[in-house]
Chain A
């Protein structure tokens, strides 16, 4: 390991070669402010265009100030991070950025969580000495994401997320100079592009330029409508992150408090998407075993590997980028949509109400779910299976609007029947969880034997692409896992080239899976937050008495009373879907 020695603010520093001045300074307690820079270890995400110039420092012997985020340490370097020259430059640059920014903090969705706002505070900016024309762009209201580009500071994080991490390529810098902005080509609306609505651009945007479409008022309107019965489902990843919005440590499980809060907000029934996740496993697992047995019987036409289909951004991705492979993913709907379909039939029947009078709200870590809920095929006579989808962040807002002291709420339990779930349903919230849940069920259905272990540690982790071979009683099953669409693309290219050895692959669009979804509390570049959320999810699983989807008593009952058998006729009608070629739509 090569070592370099330098001096930062009169303190000697020894670091590994290749370390940036920014990182080196941290080791001696010097926190140089940054704005555009963002690095998420493990996620293959690094954004350092060197564009904001807020992080500049003085390096002795250099004519100009150097961006510390992009300047590697050199032997003998003498760095000063807060000379008058540096501080003046940093403030002036910040004032410039603010001079081209709308002063809308009081009514901005990002206020209080905005990196630009907090940096302005940290730098103690009280006056903007340079004022002038501000740039204006048209705003864009898609079903999931709102783009208010007047607030864009050209940090390019969204561009890195969309192009490098997700390889979707919707966003890039367009126009030049003062007019430049990050946008889809020709400044088209997201809805008319190949955007997957994964929301990763929103997750990393430091300002209020990219935010989710807020549906909290639609939910309140439904709740106060006396004619409507309003039920809510909450996705597994929500409970592992919601607490952060109320100052709790990342990784604090708040399932019980969340249920309490939802009840107090006024939902008539509080259910769990985990129930639908269990249902998904029965459908998807059965589908896998079906394809597998055909394959083993020598059927050359059968589509393997089977790909999971519970992530709607991933569905959008292959519809746009790999439409020729649209027969490969499982036809099972996502848990959100399975829940909606069952709620609007089975549960509405139980309540003896018309489906139109039942409002299904979902709380999701996800922005793509907003889009998914609005897809035409998930509605019956114009009545959507899931009426409104809100994010973890929006739920936090609703809790605040209801004046609830969240951290002091008592624990409460989900309602039956659709609130009962197993540990398998819970782990849907993290990368590797869906396939682990599927394995727990598929193994027992296939072999007829009971598993001697429930935890499949070999499927867990944070690496972008993982694989494992599991022994299904003599039959080796090759499992692949990818999270982040860039990783998914790699596995898809392999399949396309006929090189894939996998029987089943789990794909999640968001790095980390849903715990890192676009609707989650902002992580501000701290990936340890995702790991803590992941830990919490596995903890909840471990604490459950029932940990295999097929053992969920209410799921068994659902099949007995209503659905018949997994992948049966009724299941196909309600719980499965088909996919579309969306490449054409864009090319027109």
Chain B
């Protein structure tokens, strides 16, 4: 096959980038091919920074050769002679196996000079990442490989025009590369027969959270969330009620009951207010407080922001602080509109994908669980009882027998009452440790 034929095959297969953006892979290869340059590079993005995601790792540990092969095929198509795999240093086994695979490939003449006498030369080296989430963003990844600060730059120019050391660079994700050899083997028609109209093939998800079966699942594009969560995942743990599923990693959105029957693909997820990301899928049940969930994700983005652009650097911090205020019961209704405005502005103005998506958990929970936000700011109540500051431990007068156990375990002496008489908790002293609740043998204490 000529390079053009290979690219055409990939294009026809409908393969889209598995690293998150879903950019058509064949088109990317073609763009890189079209740029004229002495030296080009093929980069494999194996940074896999989403917490809880390990599909790339499993591919690299299980079948490193597919990735090497795909990179060489890309080099053949784009006229690049050098491949670089950017892998996080926390993946020692994957690194070990990659090294072995590269040595083997060189031994067999699958990598090196003048491969099989075709005149095409290609070799691959490893580069190690220190584990910053943003270093998975392709421009940041390239800077990190160049020994510079791992922070993104404005696109365009895209790496396909100007990437590693200023040379045209084709960056793809591990899973994307892993799909390439099988497409060429079985043909574009086979591949495109799987999936939905605009999202072809299969996708691996890292199913986690409150489901019975957690782990990696590979399903055809177009499978519904319900099938993944209830059929494959075996439903919600402990027979609890499903509340939401967060897809797309830390900056994905939270989808609800009403989204369960939507076929999963790139475009549907975005239209629902979330995204594919690298395939994270975290299930939440009725016990989860959605404001706290949003705050949890923001905590991650605040930690992982590179600090280059103001909206992400400062805005996410402020988002986090506002969510914290709300979970403390100190928020107001006005705060909610400020929160929404800020989230929208951060999305609209941030430099890279991190800031452009980090407010998703806030926006999607506000869209789908606005009542919960209102309960926090208006009634100063957390409906799921997760926000400690908003809980009250209350003694039911008619159930309390006055055994005094609670008063004795309370570390701050918030409970008073005569022996054999109903006790009361002074809410202004109570620190919500829950000790009384645990100890009461008569179920006389409830949480509000």
List residues of chain A with CB under 8 Å of any chain B CB: 49-54, 56, 64-65, 67, 70, 72, 85, 88-89, 92-93, 96-97, 99-100, 129-133, 153-154, 172-173, 175-180
**What is the CB-to-nearest-CB distance from B166 to chain A, in angstroms, rounded to a whole number?**
15
- Other A-B contacts than A53-B310, A92-B341, A180-B313, 16 sampled, CB-CB below 8 A, are A50-B153, A54-B310, A56-B348, A93-B311, A93-B349, A96-B311, A96-B314, A96-B315, A96-B318, A99-B318, A132-B321, A154-B308, A173-B149, A176-B304, A177-B313, A177-B316
* Interface CB pairs A-B, < 8 A, 28: A53-B309, A53-B311, A53-B350, A54-B310, A64-B356, A65-B349, A72-B156, A85-B348, A92-B341, A96-B311, A96-B315, A96-B318, A99-B314, A100-B314, A130-B342, A131-B318, A154-B307, A154-B308, A172-B149, A173-B151, A176-B132, A176-B303, A176-B307, A177-B304, A177-B306, A177-B313, A178-B317, A180-B306
Contacting pair A132 B309 (CB below 8 A): no
Instruction: State in angstroms the CA–CA spacing of A258 and B311 once bound together.
Output: 46
B contact face: mostly helix, strand, loop, or mixed: helix
With contact pairs A96-B311, A130-B318 given, residues A88 and B345 touching in the complex (Cβ less than 8 Å): yes
A-B interface, 6 closest residue pairs, ranked by CB to CB distance from nearest: A180-B307, A177-B305, A132-B321, A96-B314, A50-B154, A92-B345
Instruction: State in angstroms the CA–CA spacing of A60 and B349 once bound together.
Output: 15
**What is the CB-to-nearest-CB distance from A189 to chain B, in angstroms, rounded to a whole number?**
21
CB-defined contacts of A133 to chain B, threshold 8 Å = 317, 321
CB-defined contacts of B149 to chain A, threshold 8 Å = 172-173
Instruction: State in angstroms the CA–CA spacing of A64 and B154 once bound together.
Output: 12
Contacting pair A50 B309 (CB below 8 A): yes
CB-defined contacts of B326 to chain A, threshold 8 Å = none
Pick from B316, B321, B341, B347: contact of A88, CB below 8 A. Answer: B341
Contacting pair A178 B351 (CB below 8 A): no
Q: B338 contacts the other chain (Cβ, under 8 Å)? A: yes
Q: B80 contacts the other chain (Cβ, under 8 Å)? A: no
**What is the CB-to-nearest-CB distance from B374 to chain A, in angstroms, rounded to a whole number?**
20
Pick from B305, B316, B349: contact of A56, CB below 8 A. Answer: B349
Interface residues on B, range: 20 to 34
Instruction: State in angstroms the CA–CA spacing of A68 and B308 once bound together.
Output: 17
Instruction: State in angstroms the CA–CA spacing of A154 and B351 once bound together.
Output: 14
Q: B95 contacts the other chain (Cβ, under 8 Å)? A: no
Pick from A49, A89, A130, A176: contact of B349, CB below 8 A. Answer: A89
Residue from B308, B310, B347 having most chain A Cβ neighbours under 10 A: B310
CB-defined contacts of A49 to chain B, threshold 8 Å = 153, 308
Q: B254 contacts the other chain (Cβ, under 8 Å)? A: no
Pick from B307, B338, B341: contact of A177, CB below 8 A. Answer: B307
**What is the CB-to-nearest-CB distance from B136 to chain A, in angstroms, rounded to a whole number?**
14
CB-defined contacts of B310 to chain A, threshold 8 Å = 51-54, 93, 96-97, 153-154
Instruction: State in angstroms the CA–CA spacing of A179 and B341 once bound together.
Output: 24
Contacting pair B351 A50 (CB below 8 A): yes
Q: B110 contacts the other chain (Cβ, under 8 Å)? A: no
With contact pairs A88-B341, A92-B345 given, residues A175 and B153 touching in the complex (Cβ less than 8 Å): no
Instruction: State in angstroms the CA–CA spacing of A172 and B347 once bound together.
Output: 27
Instruction: State in angstroms the CA–CA spacing of A180 and B310 once bound together.
Output: 11
Q: Chain A residue with minimal CB distance to B347? A: A64
Instruction: State in angstroms the CA–CA spacing of A65 and B348 once bound together.
Output: 6
Interface residues of B in 347-364 (CB under 8 A from A): 347-351, 356
List residues of chain B with CB under 8 Å of any chain A CB: 132, 149, 151, 153-154, 156, 302-311, 313-318, 321-322, 338, 341-342, 345, 347-351, 356
With contact pairs A173-B149, A180-B307 given, residues A53 and B302 touching in the complex (Cβ less than 8 Å): no
**How many cross-chain pairs have Cβ atoms below 8 Å apart between A and B?**
108
CB-defined contacts of A56 to chain B, threshold 8 Å = 348-349
Pick from A52, A72, A132: contact of B317, CB below 8 A. Answer: A132
Q: Chain A residue with minimal CB distance to B307? A: A180
CB-defined contacts of A130 to chain B, threshold 8 Å = 315, 318, 322, 338, 342
Pick from A51, A132, A153: contact of B318, CB below 8 A. Answer: A132
Contacting pair B151 A53 (CB below 8 A): no
Instruction: State in angstroms the CA–CA spacing of A85 and B318 once bound together.
Output: 20
Instruction: State in angstroms the CA–CA spacing of A5 and B322 once bound together.
Output: 44
CB-defined contacts of B306 to chain A, threshold 8 Å = 176-177, 180
Instruction: State in angstroms the CA–CA spacing of A49 and B312 once bound together.
Output: 14
Instruction: State in angstroms the CA–CA spacing of A173 and B313 once bound together.
Output: 13
Instruction: State in angstroms the CA–CA spacing of A176 and B151 once bound together.
Output: 9
Instruction: State in angstroms the CA–CA spacing of A129 and B303 once bound together.
Output: 23
**What is the CB-to-nearest-CB distance from B76 to chain A, in angstroms, rounded to a whole number?**
32
Instruction: State in angstroms the CA–CA spacing of A131 and B342 once bound together.
Output: 12
CB-defined contacts of B349 to chain A, threshold 8 Å = 53, 56, 64-65, 89, 93
Q: Chain B residue with minimal CB distance to A174? A: B149
Contacting pair A70 B154 (CB below 8 A): yes
CB-defined contacts of B338 to chain A, threshold 8 Å = 129-130
Instruction: State in angstroms the CA–CA spacing of A175 and B318 once bound together.
Output: 19
Q: Chain B residue with minimal CB distance to A67? A: B154
Contacting pair A178 B342 (CB below 8 A): no
Pick from A51, A64, A70, A97: contact of B348, CB below 8 A. Answer: A64
Contacting pair B307 A175 (CB below 8 A): yes
CB-defined contacts of B341 to chain A, threshold 8 Å = 88, 92
Contacting pair A52 B314 (CB below 8 A): no
Q: Chain B residue with minimal CB distance to A180? A: B307
**What is the CB-to-nearest-CB distance from A172 to chain B, in angstroms, rounded to a whole number?**
7
Instruction: State in angstroms the CA–CA spacing of A415 and B313 once bound together.
Output: 56
Contacting pair B321 A89 (CB below 8 A): no
CB-defined contacts of A51 to chain B, threshold 8 Å = 308-310, 351
Instruction: State in angstroms the CA–CA spacing of A130 and B342 once bound together.
Output: 9
Instruction: State in angstroms the CA–CA spacing of A178 and B306 once bound together.
Output: 8
Instruction: State in angstroms the CA–CA spacing of A67 and B351 once bound together.
Output: 9
Contacting pair A92 B321 (CB below 8 A): no
CB-defined contacts of B132 to chain A, threshold 8 Å = 176
Residue from A56, A133, A175, A178 having most chain B Cβ neighbours under 10 A: A178
**What is the CB-to-nearest-CB distance from B132 to chain A, in angstroms, rounded to a whole number?**
7
CB-defined contacts of A88 to chain B, threshold 8 Å = 341, 345
Contacting pair A178 B348 (CB below 8 A): no
Residue from B309, B314, B342, B347 having most chain A Cβ neighbours under 10 A: B314
CB-defined contacts of B347 to chain A, threshold 8 Å = 64
Instruction: State in angstroms the CA–CA spacing of A54 and B308 once bound together.
Output: 13
CB-defined contacts of A178 to chain B, threshold 8 Å = 302, 305, 307, 313-314, 317
Q: Chain A residue with minimal CB distance to B317? A: A178
**What is the CB-to-nearest-CB distance from B382 to chain A, in angstroms, rounded to a whole number?**
22
With contact pairs A97-B314, A100-B314 given, residues A52 and B309 touching in the complex (Cβ less than 8 Å): yes
CB-defined contacts of B151 to chain A, threshold 8 Å = 173
**What is the CB-to-nearest-CB distance from A170 to chain B, in angstroms, rounded to a whole number?**
15
Pick from A52, A67, A177: contact of B303, CB below 8 A. Answer: A177
Contacting pair A92 B308 (CB below 8 A): no
Q: Chain A residue with minimal CB distance to B304? A: A177
CB-defined contacts of B316 to chain A, threshold 8 Å = 177
CB-defined contacts of B345 to chain A, threshold 8 Å = 88-89, 92-93
**What is the CB-to-nearest-CB distance from B260 to chain A, in angstroms, rounded to a whole number?**
27
Instruction: State in angstroms the CA–CA spacing of A67 and B308 once bound together.
Output: 14
**What is the CB-to-nearest-CB distance from B9 to chain A, in angstroms, rounded to a whole number?**
30
Residue from A54, A132, A133 having most chain B Cβ neighbours under 10 A: A132
Residue from A88, A89, A92, A99 having most chain B Cβ neighbours under 10 A: A92
Residue from B303, B305, B341, B348 having most chain A Cβ neighbours under 10 A: B348
CB-defined contacts of B322 to chain A, threshold 8 Å = 130
**What is the CB-to-nearest-CB distance from A503 to chain B, in angstroms, rounded to a whole number?**
37
Instruction: State in angstroms the CA–CA spacing of A176 and B345 once bound together.
Output: 21
With contact pairs A173-B151, A176-B132, A176-B305 given, residues A89 and B314 touching in the complex (Cβ less than 8 Å): no
**What is the CB-to-nearest-CB distance from A9 to chain B, in angstroms, rounded to a whole number?**
19
Contacting pair A89 B348 (CB below 8 A): yes
CB-defined contacts of A131 to chain B, threshold 8 Å = 318
Q: Chain B residue with minimal CB distance to A132? A: B321
CB-defined contacts of B156 to chain A, threshold 8 Å = 72
**What is the CB-to-nearest-CB distance from B447 to chain A, in angstroms, rounded to a whole number?**
30
CB-defined contacts of B351 to chain A, threshold 8 Å = 50-51, 53, 67
CB-defined contacts of A70 to chain B, threshold 8 Å = 154
CB-defined contacts of A97 to chain B, threshold 8 Å = 310, 314
